[in-house]
Structure 1
Amino acid sequence: MNFRKSTRVLPLLLVLSLSGLAQNKSGAVMLKAGKAVTQPMQGSTSYDYQVQLKSGEALKATVLQKGVDVVINTYGPDGKKIASFDSPTDRQGTEYVTLVAPQTGRYRLEVAPFEPKAAQGTFELTVGKIMTPAQYTQSLAEDRKRADAVAAYLQTPHPDKTYDEQAAEVMKLDPTALMLPTAPLPEIEAARWLEGTWISTGKSYASAISPERTFSDTAVYRFDPQHPMMLTRANKPDGKYVPVMAYEPHSRRWVQASMQAGETGTGWNMATGNGWANNQLIMEGDGAFMGITNHSRVTRTKVDDTHMRMLTEERKGDGTWQPISEAQMVKQNSNSVTSK
């Protein structure tokens, strides 16, 4: 998202009309729990609001979009940005904002247009109650239950439902389900050991079209700085990084997709896995090479932070699995490629 530096405009008459909202000495609008404000928005205009929070307190707010797509940025007492909130609701629908205070002070919420030349519309900002640390902990537990229900639904195929029908079901389970994560995901942080330079040695088993062969490969892996849920690889640290797999937080699955077209033929593969368990990530799916389809799985086994095994297998007609290739991977150095 590219945002042009915006001019913050808050007309005096509008400030005076905000029922239940106080004005501080600098002229900024102070938010109060349980109160709402409706603002027009057009072009690059953005609006600032402030709220006083004690250490550990949390504020939840909603922004209803009416004809304009907005993004909400939160800032700490030191002026540093904390998080951005934006979901794929476009110009209609609700954005959900959570602000947790790591220290006592005055925090700022900025409501800005997603597009620098936004069409005219309005938004309605509603502030929920300010929660104590204990209340926020309870709120997190309730959020987790809703997220668990969403993940369970999404991990089950629904071939009889369209995308929109499934999205509607998900929103019933959790209205915030389609929001993008604003904080580092524990699943990504737990997989940071994958970043670094890996040397792979292994073999591909003989098939109907090729003999058995050995191979070796060196590649640099990192989570993409711009898309932190995507693991990428390159043949050297300053080379071009290409996607390997990505974490999909709503269904809590890892996803891998690849396509090739060249001298050796054209092929594709799509596989998913439900996450690391017992130091293994098993991804399974369909693919094709030169028009011949197959169903395969890749098992990555973590030996320790610097050693990993990878086994690729194909499912046979009787349901058993036949090895296609296997590799031993050793990590050399990760200090220079981390995406943090």
Structure 2
Amino acid sequence: MSIAVIGGGIAGAALAWRLRRLDPDVEITLFVGHHSVRGDATGASGGMVRGFETDAESCLVASESMAELAADPALRDWADYREVGSHYFLEPGSADMEALASIVEARLPGSLTWSAVEDLPGPCPVRGLPEGTVAVVERQGGYFSPHRLRTSMTGELLRSRVEVSQELVTGVLPDGTLQGVDPAHAKGFRAVVVAAGAWTPHLLLDHDPVAGGFRTKAIQYVRCPVAPPGLGAFTDETSGLYGRPLADGGLLLGIPTDRWGVDPDGVGVDPSLIGTLLEVASERLHLDLEPSGVEGFSSSDCYHREPGLALRDLEQGSPVFTFTGGSGGAAKTVLAASRTAAAGLLDRLAAAHPGGSQAQR
């Protein structure tokens, strides 16, 4: 039984790695051409990770991913994980904190505390927050390098004799036929999983991506030369600002964009957004920076109407699946999401083809 995974970002690499670990007998081809010739969200991602999310399903997946990372020294090394702590600020009453905290506590005991921001036991790293803002603090939060993790996983796949192809897939038909590759690779796969991030909708030939729930969105960050002392990874829902320190002493900052439907091959930096971001950074972090003093860069990612990185059918009867829709935050959930997706895919294929590998039977 053979499976093609299209996409060399963190989602594609993690899915192929999980498939190999779950069933050493399955034949896997990982096509990384899109990643190798174009910029991608994995390369631009800040890699912020924590267990807390504001809805229960996302919180479960994020906390399971964080727990696996915390428990596995090899994964932490592969990902260059930095435990710098995490602060998440949100409006009071906007989430069921008791239920969400219990999800995190069950998987990361003692990591999470929460209170009104004015009741924090120490100084708050973010200023000017509205009174009553809820501060969720995670000791085990921080960040890793999605680029380094995908490179490590791809290296492990090569060592385990998985074929990693540099061919550039230009499209996938609903019957699973690949376009733009050597005829020997064009068809014959029992399953084809398109995990190409922002390029996923463009690769789904003869299929309306909007009807399928997919949209692309621009992501934009700035690199600041200096980080305020004691600031770890943070997300401030009251202003939209988020960021984390950089290893060189600088600071990575972002703010949500409204640029939907962008071309992933032509996403540029929006200067007006940099100005807005720096205004918010001045208010929340007391950083007075000029646009000329920061480096702006942009990327894009694939979003789905049902947010979350998950395996999805293209259409009934098709061997094509997608594994994307992480909504710009796949680093927090990719470990648990890839495990669930790989197990689900192998179960589906084993049920459809009872003569599969011994591991599947």
TM-score (norm 2): 0.21
TM-score (norm 1): 0.22
If asked which structure has higher relative contact order (CA below 8 Å, sep 6+), I would say 2
Which structure has the greater CA radius of gyration? 1
